[in-house]
A and B are shown apart, each in its own frame.
Chain A
Amino acid sequence: MASESVLEIQGLSKTYGSGKKQTLALKNLDLKVNRGEIFGYLGPNGAGKTTTIRLLLDLIRPSAGSARIFGLDIRQDSVEIRRRIGFFPAELSLWEGRTGKQIIHYVASVRGDARGIVKHADELAERLDLDTSKRVRDLSSGNKRKLGLVIGMMHSPEFLILDEPTGGLDPLVQQTFHEMMDEYRAKGRTVFLSSHVLSEVQAICDRVGILRDGELKAVESVEQITNVEFNWVDVKFRDAVPADLRRRLESVPSITNVSANGSRVRMRIVGDIDPLLRAISGGYVEMLHVEEPSLEEIFLAFYSGDEEKRS
């Protein structure tokens, strides 16, 4: 039996400006997100992630195409859709002069059923370690984002749309957030999460859509994306890089792009790190740093040489 789609997008396009200043922000997007899944919407800054989300919320109007959430049209039924969804914007702005508690009460009153919503908001705030008695202007940017998450989730929405939610959150809170997402999934709720951080998407999502220059390039499971993953490794030796190390590293099939500078050597490695450890065993290693590839690099790897390797 086919999974029930919560979100269905067909041929959605958005163009900003007119004449020579016209910019195509989103091109002919087709996408389905199923009930109960956490869908990662991955793309570099400016790829069209926020444009897609703003279209879904009816904040901006499509140049072409349509989308349905819960089977309802995003233009005609936007109020009913917004009753059932939660939203967290990438660039969060809140009422600076009001306290978290005041904002929660205000948003809850607009949503109706204020008592139940406020109770859940208090639970979320406690879990995220957020002091709602402070005015927004007195909160750190991380705490403001926590408040944004509380506002987006306090009515237990069926469908949660999160635009870059964890930027500025400390690692402990990010962990709590990941747990919350797992609970959402367990309850059969749906999450649409945009991000430009691969590790975040890997940790939370079931499927990933890769967006670039306004075009959806692929929709893959997280496992498939992970298969094309490689890492950058920096090794710092106590002394100068051993003379024949570069040759030894380049002879390892999974290691490429080797560059040496003084006592440091940097390389790109696909798969296990063990061949590297064997190759550098002759020198005294002071430090070894593994760096996640940028999204752009993953993207290029996914669609160039490593794609062939992957398949």
Chain B
Amino acid sequence: MSGTIVGATLRASWKQILYWGLGLGALGLYIDFIASSPDIISGYAELLGSMPPAMLQAFGASDIALLTTSEGWIVSIFVSEAAIFLSVFAVLAGLSITANDEHSGLMDVILSLPISRAAYMLERWLGYALIGFAIVLLCALITVAGMMGLNVDAQTDVIFMSVMNLYPGTLLVMTVTCLLSTALRRRAAAIALSAAFVVLSYIFNIIGASASGAIADLMERLSYFSYVHGEDFVLGVYDPANTLVVLAAALIGFALSLKLFTSRDIGI
């Protein structure tokens, strides 16, 4: 692995990092602005408090008391919204690893160069993993800077870590899309199934957190959202093992993608 492909991927995508990072950062600033006004937060919390638990979960909050604090507000509302937007990025990035180039015929030119399929896919995956990390980092920095600028009453390290905790899930969705597009070789089908993966994970998380029983527990465990709760940092119950589970799932997905990509025909 020479790093040439990683470098080229990053150079070609710096605008993508900027646009996504600034876009999500702007959302973070908006949430910061609301969080700087206790009256708005309490009014909103009151509104959500009148809703059933499942609806509350859908808005990204599991604990109504948490929503009455600036810290809890930012983590519950912003992080859950940003997770959805980052899922869109992750699906697009997953397709960009190899599927788009294969679909356009560019892969024929790339793989006529002295680089193995495995090395190419690995470098592309690393490139997009770094792009995803840079976007989440930029988003976290803007959100934290907004908090400081607006004098929001919240711990910056907690908010920063909560936002950065979006990264493992983003990496997982990106890898799942890469795996699906490698296996199915149809971009539309890969997009549809990746979207289904995100939506079902979101729904499973809502149901799992708002209902009780074995099935609900299982559904929650099957949702990657349940492993990357931003609220865990606020509540002080963050468990690194959860992050490791998501990262391990992403690595397994990538290993499967690699196996498929290196063993099948290209571009047929």
Q: Is B106 an interface residue (CB 8 A)?
A: yes
A83 vs B111: C-alpha distance in the bound complex, in angstroms? 11
Decide: A79 near B114, CB < 8 A? Known: A59-B267, A60-B265, A110-B5. yes
Q: Does B4 contact A93, Cβ atoms closer than 8 Å? A: no
Q: From residue 97 to 116 of chain B, which have CB atoms closer than 8 A to chain A?
A: 104-109, 111-116
- B162 CB to nearest chain A CB (Å): 35
Q: Is A54 an interface residue (CB 8 A)?
A: yes
Q: Does A111 contact B108, Cβ atoms closer than 8 Å? A: no
Q: Which residues of A contact B112 (CB under 8 A)?
A: 57, 82, 85-87, 89, 152
Q: Which of B12, B114, B264 contacts A110 (CB 8 A)?
A: B114
Q: Which residues of A contact B266 (CB under 8 A)?
A: 54, 59-60
Residue of B whose beta carbon sits closest to that of A96: B104
Q: Is B8 an interface residue (CB 8 A)?
A: yes
Closest 6 CB pairs between A and B?
Answer: A93-B105, A83-B114, A87-B112, A60-B265, A59-B266, A93-B106
Q: Does B106 contact A110, Cβ atoms closer than 8 Å? A: no
Interface residues, chain B, CB within 8 Å of chain A? Answer: 2, 4-5, 8, 12, 104-109, 111-116, 264-268
Chain A 143-176, CB within 8 Å of chain B: the 1/0 string? 0000010011000000000000000000000000
Q: Does A93 contact B109, Cβ atoms closer than 8 Å? A: yes
Q: Which residues of A contact B107 (CB under 8 A)?
A: 59
Q: From residue 78 to 117 of chain A, which have CB atoms closer than 8 A to chain B?
A: 78-80, 82-83, 85-87, 89, 91-95, 97-98, 106-107, 109-112
Chain A 59-91, CB within 8 Å of chain B: the 1/0 string? 111000000000000000011101101110101
Q: Does B268 contact A16, Cβ atoms closer than 8 Å? A: yes
Q: Does B108 contact A89, Cβ atoms closer than 8 Å? A: yes
12 A-B interface contacts by CB (under 8 A): A57-B111, A59-B267, A60-B268, A80-B114, A82-B112, A93-B104, A93-B105, A93-B109, A94-B106, A106-B4, A109-B4, A110-B2
Decide: A94 near B111, CB < 8 A? Known: A60-B265, A61-B265. no
- B114 CB to nearest chain A CB (Å): 4
Q: Which residues of B contact A93 (CB under 8 A)?
A: 104-106, 108-109
Q: Does A95 contact B111, Cβ atoms closer than 8 Å? A: no
Decide: A59 near B114, CB < 8 A? Known: A16-B268, A93-B105. no
Interface residues, chain A, CB within 8 Å of chain B? Answer: 16, 54, 57-61, 78-80, 82-83, 85-87, 89, 91-95, 97-98, 106-107, 109-112, 148, 151-152
A89 vs B107: C-alpha distance in the bound complex, in angstroms? 11
A263 vs B8: C-alpha distance in the bound complex, in angstroms? 63
Q: Does A94 contact B109, Cβ atoms closer than 8 Å? A: yes
Residue of B whose beta carbon sits closest to that of A163: B108
Residue of A whose beta carbon sits closest to that of B113: A110
A54 vs B264: C-alpha distance in the bound complex, in angstroms? 13
Q: Which of B5, B114, B264 contacts A111 (CB 8 A)?
A: B114
A91 vs B104: C-alpha distance in the bound complex, in angstroms? 10
Residue of B whose beta carbon sits closest to that of A84: B114
Q: Which residues of B contact A95 (CB under 8 A)?
A: 12, 106
Q: Does A59 contact B5, Cβ atoms closer than 8 Å? A: no
Q: Does A89 contact B105, Cβ atoms closer than 8 Å? A: yes
Residue of A whose beta carbon sits closest to that of B267: A59
Q: Does A107 contact B104, Cβ atoms closer than 8 Å? A: no
Q: Does A82 contact B268, Cβ atoms closer than 8 Å? A: no
Q: Does B108 contact A79, Cβ atoms closer than 8 Å? A: no
Q: Does B265 contact A111, Cβ atoms closer than 8 Å? A: no
A111 vs B113: C-alpha distance in the bound complex, in angstroms? 7
A240 vs B70: C-alpha distance in the bound complex, in angstroms? 96
Q: Does A151 contact B265, Cβ atoms closer than 8 Å? A: no
Q: Which residues of A contact B2 (CB under 8 A)?
A: 110
A97 vs B105: C-alpha distance in the bound complex, in angstroms? 15
A80 vs B107: C-alpha distance in the bound complex, in angstroms? 18
- Other 6 A-B pairs with CB < 8 A, given A82-B115, A83-B114, A94-B109: A54-B266, A59-B107, A91-B108, A93-B104, A93-B105, A106-B4
- A54 CB to nearest chain B CB (Å): 7
Q: Does B113 contact A82, Cβ atoms closer than 8 Å? A: yes
- B98 CB to nearest chain A CB (Å): 13
A73 vs B268: C-alpha distance in the bound complex, in angstroms? 22
A258 vs B8: C-alpha distance in the bound complex, in angstroms? 62
Q: Which residues of B contact A92 (CB under 8 A)?
A: 105, 109
Q: Which of A16, A54, A86, A97 contacts B108 (CB 8 A)?
A: A54
A46 vs B116: C-alpha distance in the bound complex, in angstroms? 28
A112 vs B114: C-alpha distance in the bound complex, in angstroms? 9
Q: Does B115 contact A79, Cβ atoms closer than 8 Å? A: yes
Q: Does B4 contact A110, Cβ atoms closer than 8 Å? A: yes
Decide: A107 near B108, CB < 8 A? Known: A16-B268, A60-B266. no
Most chain-A CB neighbours within 10 Å: which of B5, B109, B115, B116?
Answer: B109
Q: Which residues of B contact A106 (CB under 8 A)?
A: 4, 8
Q: Which residues of B contact A57 (CB under 8 A)?
A: 108, 111-112
A94 vs B2: C-alpha distance in the bound complex, in angstroms? 22
A85 vs B268: C-alpha distance in the bound complex, in angstroms? 23
Q: Which residues of A contact B265 (CB under 8 A)?
A: 59-61
